[in-house]
Amino acid sequence: MNSQLILTVICDDKPGIVEQLAQTISNHQGNWLESRMSHLAGKFAGILQVAVNEIHKASLRQALTDLHSKGFKIIVEDALSVTPSDCRQFSFTVVGADRPGIVREIAQAFSVRHINMGELETACSSMPWSGEPLFEASGIIEVPKSVNLNDLYDQLDKIADDLAIDIRLESSSEQSV
């Protein structure tokens, strides 16, 4: 019987990290399913989902722990069974001059409405016309059907005005904010 593990990985970035992880998982009859990985500030950081038969699970866990001697910090957790929620899925984007508090304000607007942020990707770069710091974010949220979308749009509009940023919220059945 297969079970699934969630791994979080961090180590100094260098060539061969993904290969070492993949080889370790493969050597213990694991199957690499889904992952998100990135290079940030000289570090490799990733999260991945692995399927493994119960009889190989302990040896895979040990082999992943043994990678510590090669500079890997790996946390291994059993995946949880998740029942699909009764939610609408939206994608969102945020663009504007970088300043502290942008993520906090948006995350708070979602959190108080019990909106789950399923994905979040952020980046800072320079505005092409001025060289000023530019903040960009994109992600996916799961909005419970009980959430009043007009209230959510109003709150996001207020945040956008207060922080002088552009926030767009889109789904297949909704127009952009």
Q: Name the CATH topology of 87-170.
A: Alpha-Beta Plaits (3.30.70)
pTM, to two decimals: 0.80
Give the model's pLDDT for residue 174.
47
Give the model's pLDDT for residue 96.
94
Closest by CA to 29, choosing from 51, 14, 49, is 51
Give the model's pLDDT for residue 77.
96
Confirm if 159 and 168 have CB atoms less than 8 A apart. no
Q: Domain spanning 2-78: which superfamily? A: ACT domain (3.30.70.260)
| 2-78 and 87-170 in the same fold | yes
Burial class of residue 109 in the structure, from the number of CB atoms within 10 Å of its CB (0-12 exposed, 13-18 middle, 19+ buried): middle
Give the model's pLDDT for residue 1.
77
Give the model's pLDDT for residue 171.
87
Query: Residue 124 pairs with which residues in a beta bridge?
Result: 135
List the domain boundaries for the chain.
2-78, 87-170
Give the model's pLDDT for residue 94.
97
User: Mean pLDDT in runs of 10 for the chain (177 residues)?
Assistant: 94 96 97 95 96 96 96 95 82 95 96 94 88 93 94 96 95 54
Give the model's pLDDT for residue 27.
97
